[in-house]
Chain A
Amino acid sequence: MNRFAVGIRSNVRTFLRTPLNVVLALVLPLVVIEGWGQAMAGLPPMPTIEAIPLDLGRVLGAIFGVAIIAGLMGLVQMISAREADRRLVQTGYSPRTLLATRLATLAGVTIVVAGVNFGVLWLTVEPEAPLLVFAFLALAGVVYAFLGALVGAVLPRLFEGSLVVVFLAMMDAFLSGDSPLAADVPDFVQYFPLYHPKELLQSAVFDGTFAAGDLAFVGGYVLVLLVLVTAVFGATMRTSGGWSA
């Protein structure tokens, strides 16, 4: 078996060895989706504020839920394995192979989490294009998983890293999520990680369509994150010239 497959298998085993994480990854989406949906639906319609239908609230909860679960997973995965990764590099593992196993595992678990979110949406909202909805939820999760991995590679301590991921996700949810409370949202919000995935998801759920431009933007976003995380990870794993880098 090659090193890539061994790496993925051991990463998946590490995650599954903590059943609590698996249970929470399955239960939290339900809490977030229903909590978000019910709360948004309670907002009274006002002259300049449209009421948020329950279903739209659930869709926004689903994308936020999958993003934050995946983002924190990416962060923890990178930081907790840092020392072990460095030793593996010293014993001859290529940093790129190691990173590929981490990101592939992250993407795999994220797709499962997206599947759970999709299942909850399927039961409560009845989307127009179910396959697209699943794909776009997974895409939103992958964006945040890689973002979490990037933050974990740059800031190798969990407290600081989690503060960055949590506040980025909160701002993103507030600004990108069509919050009825917001007005004069700045133009730069379209570069926030969830802005285009949210557009894709919303179209797929309610119209059964999507805009190719949004999809291309998200694809580009994932590519940029991949390049950045590869560069940072490579730099932190450099072992030449001493015992520890």
Chain B
Amino acid sequence: MNRTATAFGIGLREHARNYVLVALLVILPVSFITLAFAVTQDVQMPVRTLVDGETTTVMRGMPEVHGVIMTPITSSFIAGLAGLFLMREARDTDGRLAVVGYRAREVIAARFGVLAVITLVVVGVSVGVMLVDFQPEQLWWFVAAMVILSVTYGLIGMLVGAVFNRLAGLWIMLILPMIDIGLFQDPLFVQSEPEWWMKLFPGYHPVRVMVDTGLTTDLDTAMSLGWGFGYLLVVGLLAIWVYYRGTRAT
């Protein structure tokens, strides 16, 4: 087994052995998403989205619209916090791995692999819970956008963990997804063309795809999926660069 696989396996086992964490990664999405569906009023609401290439307003049940937002916000919160704490832990241990001969790219690959697994688990649990109450019109496109958004937030968590201390990082990783996905991208709250600065947030393109694929039968936002992936790549490159510098410095 090569060294990257060894470090990846140890990182995964370390988290899997923490039963409290594993339980929370399951219990919190289940309770939060279930509760959100249970108490949301079942009324029709106007939603702005793309239909046949044109922006139009369609009427959809509020629980469905709410589900389209609450599910990705849950996975983004958890992925963001996971990225934040992986980076904080890495500061203590990865320097030692470098001293015993690990290359920076091996350490980085192992850490990013652990973050990817945690994110996929959380996305899987969140989507699974959502499917009990709501089935998106195009499930796999919806899941693809959700993975892109959650991984992006996981990497942003890593960046924040590299730059800020724990308390500041926690505040930022709570408030950023909340105002981005929960307020500025929520089609219930933003009924007109979003302001230009709202489009700069990580959630803009993936949430557009989720609203489109969750509530309509055709994919009209393939371009947004591409932009969301591009955003993910940029954040990923930044995170790798910051991680690389941090690992070499320690």
Chain A residues within 8 Å of B, Cβ to Cβ: 18, 20-21, 24, 28, 31-32, 35-36, 39-40, 42-44, 46-49, 68-69, 72-73, 75-76, 80, 155, 157-160, 162-164, 166-167, 169-171, 174-175, 181-186
A69: chain B residues within 8 A (beta carbon): 171
**B32 engages A167 (CB within 8 Å):** yes
| B10 contacts A by Cβ under 8 Å | no
**Contact partner of A73 among B20, B38, B167, B178, CB < 8 A?**
B167
| B5 contacts A by Cβ under 8 Å | no
Given A31-B175, A39-B190 in contact, is the A182-B41 Cβ separation under 8 Å?
yes
Chain B interface extent, by class: 35 or more
A170: chain B residues within 8 A (beta carbon): 32, 77, 178
Instruction: Output the nearest chain B residue to A46 by Cβ-Cβ distance.
Output: B43
Number of residue pairs across A and B with beta carbons under 8 Å?
A: 118
From B97-105, B109-117, B180-188, B219-227, the one touching the partner chain is: B180-188
**A167 engages B81 (CB within 8 Å):** no
B204: chain A residues within 8 A (beta carbon): none
Shortest distance from the beta carbon of A190 to any chain B beta carbon, whole Å = 14
Shortest distance from the beta carbon of B171 to any chain A beta carbon, whole Å = 6
Shortest distance from the beta carbon of B23 to any chain A beta carbon, whole Å = 9
**Contact partner of A20 among B24, B45, B168, B178, CB < 8 A?**
B168
Q: What 3 pairs between A and B have smallest CB-CB spacing?
A: A39-B183, A183-B41, A39-B189
A32 to B177, CA, bound (A): 12
| B246 contacts A by Cβ under 8 Å | no
**B46 engages A184 (CB within 8 Å):** no
Shortest distance from the beta carbon of B17 to any chain A beta carbon, whole Å = 13
**A44 engages B174 (CB within 8 Å):** no
Chain B residues within 8 Å of A, Cβ to Cβ: 18, 20-21, 24-25, 28, 31-32, 35-36, 38-46, 62, 66, 77-78, 81-82, 85, 88, 164-168, 170-172, 174-175, 178-179, 183-184, 186, 188-191
Question: What 7 additional pairs, Cβ within 8 angstroms, besides A20-B164, A20-B165, A181-B62?
Answer: A32-B175, A46-B43, A72-B170, A72-B171, A80-B166, A155-B20, A171-B31
**A186 engages B39 (CB within 8 Å):** yes
A43 to B83, CA, bound (A): 33
A28 to B172, CA, bound (A): 9
A186: chain B residues within 8 A (beta carbon): 39
Instruction: Output the nearest chain A residue to B192 by Cβ-Cβ distance.
Output: A42
**Taking each of B164, B172, B183, which has the highest tally of chain A beta carbons within 10 Å of its own beta carbon?**
B183
B25: chain A residues within 8 A (beta carbon): 163
**B183 engages A181 (CB within 8 Å):** no
A163 to B84, CA, bound (A): 12
